[in-house]
Amino acid sequence: MHELTTPISDETIRSLHVGEPVAITGVMLTGRDAAHKWMIDTFIKKNRQPEGDDLEAYEAIKPLLNGGLIYHCGPVVAGLDTKEYRFVAAGPTTSIREEPYQGDVMRHFHVKGVIGKGGMGTKTLQACQEAPGFYLHAIGGAASLIAQTVVKVLGVYKLEFGVPEAMWVIQVKDFPAVVTMDSHGQSQHAVVEEKSKKVLEALLAKH
């Protein structure tokens, strides 16, 4: 088990390989479809003008993402009325939906790691090699268990996207995950996909 603390150094990232378990302590941000599209459209491709609190949110998340982690998560959050936020459930959501955006987000914000479930594709793998960075597979179906590693909710940005889609700034302790895409171009997901493809082709050939 590798114990990692954010921000994570390039040296540490290069020392990690596919299949190795990690426990993360430090600060990370959640971000799903709406957040990734907002980052791309407003600040990377600049297809839309910043409005409302866009610039304020951008300036706040920039230093947090620099050397940091994005967690693909739509949390269940208590304390919305009092703003004494607490994560009740914090399971990973399917990452492949962010494949069109993730590489560009990693490059622009100098993000070093992405956490989710199900893996990502070639664009993200390329960004992992360049950054360097990695993709971590979190445990699906363990939402309440993972929420227990969130020791504090430090803040939230773009809450107008809705609770699951907002960017939550969280402090975690011993957050469990497994490296499934590394900075050396290895992807456990690509290996599984290739094996599955061969099994499927063999099954189809029999009919």
Report the pLDDT value the prediction gives residue 203, as an integer from 0 to 100.
66
Cα dist. 136→70, 71, 165, 183, 201 in Å? 10, 9, 20, 12, 29
Report the pLDDT value the prediction gives residue 98, as an integer from 0 to 100.
95
Q: What is the distance between the alpha carbons of residues 50 and 103, in angstroms, rounded to a whole number? A: 22
43: number of Cβ within 10 Å? 19
Q: What is the distance between the alpha carbons of residues 161 and 157, in angstroms, rounded to a whole number? A: 9
Give residue 19's domain range: 2-205
Could you give the angle at the alpha carbon of 166 between the alpha carbons of 163 and 189, nearest 5°? Answer: 105
| Residue, of 9 and 200, whose pLDDT is higher | 9
- pTM, to two decimals: 0.89
CATH code assigned at 44 = 3.20.130.10
Reply yes or no on whether 17 is catalytic.
no
pLDDT(147) > 80: yes
Active site residue: 2, 36, 72, 207, which one? 36
- Per-residue pLDDT reduced to its tens digit, 150-191: 999 999 999 999 999 999 999 999 999 999 999 999 997 655
Cβ within 8 Å of residue 88, ≥6 positions away = 75, 76, 77, 78, 144, 147
Our count of domains for the chain comes to: 1
- Per-residue pLDDT reduced to its tens digit, 4-23: 999 999 999 999 999 999 99
- pLDDT, mean of residues 104-115: 95
Tokens of 153: 């909710």
- Per-residue pLDDT reduced to its tens digit, 24-69: 999 999 999 999 999 999 999 999 999 999 999 999 999 999 999 9
